[in-house]
Amino acid sequence: MAHVTLVHGIANKPPADTLAGLWERALAEDDGLDLGAEGISTTMVYWADVLYPSPAEGTLERADDTTLLDDPGEGWLEGTSQPERAWLDSFARALPLDEEVAPLPATGSAEGYERVLLPAWVKQRLMRTLLRDVHHYLFNSRHTPRPGEQFDVRDEIRARMLGALREGAGEPGPHVVVSHSMGTVIAYDCLKRVEGCPPVDGLVTIGSPLGIEEIPLQLRPGWSRRDGFPYGTLHGPWINIFDPLDPVVGALPAVARLYRRAGDDVVVDVRQQNWGRWRHDIAKYLHGPELRAELARLLRV
């Protein structure tokens, strides 16, 4: 039977089993795609514990409730290098948030950051969470989420991703990666740049910041404008689902232009309209008919 490797996105999350159950239930609700009933196995690449001290408390109605974003604060900026801060500044500017964000101060001190004009409280949290999580992965920061535990963030998450992909490779039937938000960066990075990464039969990226150019620029060597597609490991389609009002996908959410194969656009960008104010919510994406149809096709359901 088919197998799906799930990769979650930014911000703290409930425990791994709960999170996987939330994803599957959101996908199955309202006569949707019921992976369990179809006999399709899943593995969740859980990495929230690499960056956050403990799982999110309580029972979430949605897997990505913004009111529960654990604020990473600003202390992590200390110790970042000048090139890193320049990258962060550039990345922050690329996010289509409607309030002007001043550049980070030259010293990189937290005190200077506090004086920056940040958006409303949700966007502030989003900004800090997104910047911190993405930065720590792309720059392989050393992070201590809990006393006594320390990770080189990208190395640790890559190891978990590869382990999950190997698990899926052992299953008969198509193996599809379904990733959301920062999870799409993880998935792409591993498929494109990690030696020994097992092949997969399909890639679905959801609410992905991969269309923000600052990100693939940090995924070199590996990525190039002409040959960004991970053809060595992705033996099937790459479907990119985006809601243009999702703040995480950037101003140009279609990614085909950045991940070409021999200069050709091969990624299938699919626009989906979620609802409400927070369009980045994975549960909303999983409810979408467009995503469900594409995933069902990849899984041959």
Partner 1 sequence: MSTDHDHGTGLVAPLATAAAHYDQDGASRQCHRLVELLRTDEDRVPVADVLLILRHLREKRWFHLSAAVAEAALERAEADEAAVLPIRLHYAQALIEQGLHLAAVAVLERLLERRPSPDDAAECRGLLGRAYKQMFVVSAPSRRHRPLRRAIELYDHVYRTDPDRFLWHGINSTALVQRAAVEGIAVDDLPPAVPTAEAILAVIERRSADPDLDPDVWDLATAMEACLVLGREEEAATWMEAYMAHPRADTFELTATLRQLEEIWCFDAGRSPGATLLPRLQARILAGRDGGRIELRADEVAETGIGLEKVLGQEGMVTYAWYRTGLHRGRAVAAIADEFGEPVGTGFLVLARDLHPDLAPHGTVLLTNSHVVGVDVPGALALEDARVTFEVRSAETSGATTHRVAEVLWTSPPHLLDTSILRLDPTPDADGDSCPLTAACPRTDGTQRVYVIGHPQGRSLSFAIADNLLLDRDDRALHYRAPTEPGSSGSPVFNRRWQVIALHHAGRSDMPRLHGQAGTYPANEGIWIEAVRRALAAAMTRTPDVTADGPL
Should residue 167 be labelled a site residue for partner 1 when binding is judged by CB under 8 A?
Answer: no
Q: Which of 25, 257, 260, 261 binds partner 1 (CB under 8 A)?
A: 25
Burial zone of 63 (CB within 10 Å; 0-12 exposed, 13-18 middle, 19+ buried): buried
Strand 175-180 versus strand 3-7 pairing type: parallel
Give how far Cα 247 sits from Cα of 6, 169, 189, 210, 298, Å. Answer: 21, 33, 22, 13, 27
**Token pair 């689902």 in the structure block, residue:** 241
Quick one: 40 or 267, whose CB is closer to partner 1? 40
Quick one: 27 or 186, whose CB is closer to partner 1? 27
The amino acid at 81: S
Should residue 106 be labelled a site residue for partner 1 when binding is judged by CB under 8 A?
Answer: no
How many beta carbons lie within 10 A of that of residue 173, not counting itself? 15
Q: Which of 4, 40, 197, 200 binds partner 1 (CB under 8 A)?
A: 40
Q: Residue 35 CB, nearest distance to partner 1 (Å)?
A: 8
Range list of β-strands (E), 181-261 = 202-206, 238-242
Should residue 28 be labelled a site residue for partner 1 when binding is judged by CB under 8 A?
Answer: yes
Should residue 262 be labelled a site residue for partner 1 when binding is judged by CB under 8 A?
Answer: no
Q: Residue 297 CB, nearest distance to partner 1 (Å)?
A: 16
Q: Which of 5, 8, 17, 95 binds partner 1 (CB under 8 A)?
A: 17
Q: Which of 4, 13, 29, 202 binds partner 1 (CB under 8 A)?
A: 29
**Token pair 């409400």 in the structure block, residue:** 276
Q: Residue 29 CB, nearest distance to partner 1 (Å)?
A: 8
Distance CA 61, CA 36 (A): 20
Contact footprint for partner 1 (CB under 8 A): 15, 17-18, 21, 25, 28-31, 34, 36-41, 59, 301
